[in-house]
Amino acid sequence: MPETHELSQTAHDRLSAEFEQLTTVGRVDIARKIEAARELGDLSENGDYHAAKDEQGKMETRIAQLGALLRNCRIVEAGDGTTVAVGSVVTVAHDGDPDDVETYLVGSIEERHDGLDVISPASPMGSAIMGARVGETLSFESPAGGTLTVQIVSLDR
């Protein structure tokens, strides 16, 4: 059974628009590029043709990826800003050290924006901090082994 991805409404709308653009305008544009390259002659040594076919392959891979993600997603409500939820931007201090802080966007990698690192709610740290409030200290098992502790320093939507 495919994994269900949690997406904010904003991310879902953005990904749906990208999917629509790629499956309509994108496919037509790439077909035109391939046709124009074919008209240049010998395909075995035609760099434009090979570049267009490579671009087409990458586009079709992205279309398949988006299609699977959109078919197997669940739209989640934005958090109320008081607890960590999908779509939250959370800053954590590692092991209680206020100088060792990192800021993450909680959600699917497709939620990424503003250059923030993304942490999955299903990851060890992500599942530990889901539902937490500013000031809470939480521990979780690191995939590399050992227990790590973080404190929620700030939280934004």
pLDDT tens digit sequence for 2-41:
778 888 888 899 999 999 999 999 999 999 999 998 888 7
Q: What angle do helix axes 47-71 and 27-38 make, rounded to 10 degrees?
A: 160
State pLDDT tens for residues 68-114: 999 999 888 766 778 998 888 999 998 867 788 999 998 888 877 77
| The model's pTM | 0.71
State pLDDT tens for residues 97-107: 778 899 999 88
Provide the residue ranges of all domains of the chain, joining segments of one domain with +.
Answer: 5-76, 89-156
Euclidean distance between CA atoms 153 and 89, whole angstroms: 11
3-state percent breakdown (helix, strand, coil) of the chain, nearest 5: 45, 25, 35
Instruction: Judge residue 35's burial from the number of C-beta atoms within 10 Å of its C-beta, 0-12 exposed, 13-18 middle, 19 or more buried.
Output: exposed
127: left (phi over 0), alpha (psi -120 to 50) or beta: alpha
Pick among 3.20.20.120, 3.40.640.10, 3.40.50.1980, 3.10.50.30: CATH of 89-156: 3.10.50.30
Please identify, in words, the CATH class of the domain defined by 5-76: mainly alpha
State the CB neighbour count (10 A cutoff) for residue 33: 17
